[in-house]
């Protein structure tokens, strides 16, 4: 299922028994343990028996420790390569880090979040959501707090290509809209944790009204996901929780972009046109450059 072993481990955590979870946590905290240690040693480090470690590997879908280990080695190396591109030795932010370090580390985590979201994305589900939206009449979006921005972002994008979309920061309005959904409509709930009660509530109402429901969340086992016909999962790692909020939002936006581009593509929309125009306006402006600010009034671009 999930391409990256480590994301898979994180995702599987809730389904695991306590001993297996201990193994998962140790591995998530330091994946290098797997590469360096034999199954026996790893079991000892985790305070459990090697049988449990072996079972854990199989729970994740691997034939055993050997296969799992190779997979972890690959994932670790891939991540290390990424880190090197940012010139980083380690990736946790320290209070004494320089501005350059902080910037590189934040960027690294955000890039990682995007890449892992891609790896873990089920494109079949993505396309079914695209089908539902393209074939549907209207899209309702529910998201509050940070996820509210993602919802608004998608709303703006859909509206721009002529798809009826609604999104409100006001829970009451969202609920009213949810109650009015028809079976031809699509309702999308966005919540990183999947626990946000307002989002869950709204999505449930839309579901009861007969709409096709979609969840965008980092926790595919969460309440929001359970109300959804289709679940799109982001893979922002929470282990370095200090970054969590940022990475998760970037991952959500990336996901929303995938969805949007695919919709535009499916509809045969000429996404190029309008944006091309923006591009040219900008370019023209830049050539005359400095004085454009003076002629204010009306010459504004489609976006921003």
Residues 27 to 86 in contact with DNA, rule: CB under 7 A: 38-40, 47-52, 54-55, 57-58, 63-67, 69
Choose among a copy of itself, DNA, none what residue 276 binds, the Cβ cut-off being 5 to 8 Å by kind. Answer: a copy of itself
Residue whose CB is less far from DNA, 119 or 221: 221
Min separation Cβ 258 and a copy of itself, Å: 5
Min separation Cβ 18 and DNA, Å: 4
Residue whose CB is less far from a copy of itself, 102 or 173: 102
Choose among a copy of itself, DNA, none what residue 231 binds, the Cβ cut-off being 5 to 8 Å by kind. Answer: a copy of itself
Min separation Cβ 180 and a copy of itself, Å: 20
Distance CA 25, CA 9 (A): 8
Q: Tell me, by CB under 7 A, how many residues bind DNA.
A: 23
Choose among a copy of itself, DNA, none what residue 126 binds, the Cβ cut-off being 5 to 8 Å by kind. Answer: a copy of itself
Min separation Cβ 41 and DNA, Å: 7
Min separation Cβ 212 and a copy of itself, Å: 11
Residue whose CB is less far from DNA, 35 or 159: 35
Please spell the DSSP secondary structure of the chain, one letter per residue. Answer: --SSHHHHHHHHGGGS-HHHHHHHHHHHH-THHHHHS-HHHHHHHTTS-HHHHHHHHHHTT-SSHHHHHHHHHHHHHHHHHHHHHTT-S--S--TT--HHHHHHHHHHHHHHHHHHHHHH--HHHHHHHHHHHHHSS-EEEE--THHHHHHHHHHHHHHHTT--EEE-SSHHHHHHHHHT--TT-EEEEEESSS--HHHHHHHHHHHHTT-EEEEEES-TTSHHHHT-SEEEE-----SSHHHHHHHHHHHHHHHHHHHHHHHHHHTT--SHHHHHHHHHHHHHHHHHGGGGGGG-TT---S--
Min separation Cβ 13 and DNA, Å: 13
Pick the closest to residue 12 from 21, 3, 4 (CA basis): 21
Choose among a copy of itself, DNA, none what residue 75 binds, the Cβ cut-off being 5 to 8 Å by kind. Answer: a copy of itself
Among 17, 123, 164, 276, contact with DNA (rule: CB under 7 A): 17
Choose among DNA, a copy of itself, none what residue 271 binds, the Cβ cut-off being 5 to 8 Å by kind. Answer: a copy of itself
Choose among a copy of itself, DNA, none what residue 302 binds, the Cβ cut-off being 5 to 8 Å by kind. Answer: a copy of itself
């Amino acid at each position: 299922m999930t391409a990256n072993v480590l994301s898979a481990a994180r995702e599987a955590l809730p389904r695991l028994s306590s001993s297996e979870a201990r193994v998962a946590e140790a591995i998530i905290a330091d994946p290098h343990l797997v590469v360096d240690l034999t199954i026996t040693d790893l079991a000892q480090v985790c305070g459990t028996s090697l049988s449990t470690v072996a079972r854990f590997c199989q729970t994740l879908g691997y034939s055993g420790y050997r296969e799992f280990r190779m997979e972890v080695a690959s994932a670790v190396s891939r991540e290390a390569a990424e880190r090197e591109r940012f010139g980083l030795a380690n990736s946790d932010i320290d209070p004494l880090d320089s501005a350059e370090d902080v910037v590189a580390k934040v960027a690294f985590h955000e890039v990682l979040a995007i890449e892992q979201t891609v790896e873990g994305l089920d494109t079949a589900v993505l396309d079914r959501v695209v089908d539902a939206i393209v074939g549907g009449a209207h899209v309702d979006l529910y998201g509050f707090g940070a996820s509210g921005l993602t919802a608004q972002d998608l709303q703006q994008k859909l509206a721009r290509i002529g798809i009826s979309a609604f999104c409100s920061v006001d829970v009451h309005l969202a609920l009213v809209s949810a109650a009015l959904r028809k079976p031809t409509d699509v309702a999308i709930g966005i919540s990183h944790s999947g626990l946000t009660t307002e989002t869950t509530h709204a999505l449930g109402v839309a579901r009861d009204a007969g709409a096709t429901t979609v969840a965008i969340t980092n926790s595919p086992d969460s309440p929001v996901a359970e109300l959804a016909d289709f679940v799109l999962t982001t893979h922002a790692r929470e282990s370095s929780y200090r970054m969590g909020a940022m990475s998760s939002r970037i991952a959500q936006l990336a996901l929303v972009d995938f969805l949007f581009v695919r919709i535009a593509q499916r509809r045969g929309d000429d996404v190029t046109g309008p944006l091309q125009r923006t591009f040219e306006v900008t370019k023209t402006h830049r050539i005359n450059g400095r004085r454009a600010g003076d002629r204010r009034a009306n010459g504004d671009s489609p976006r921003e």
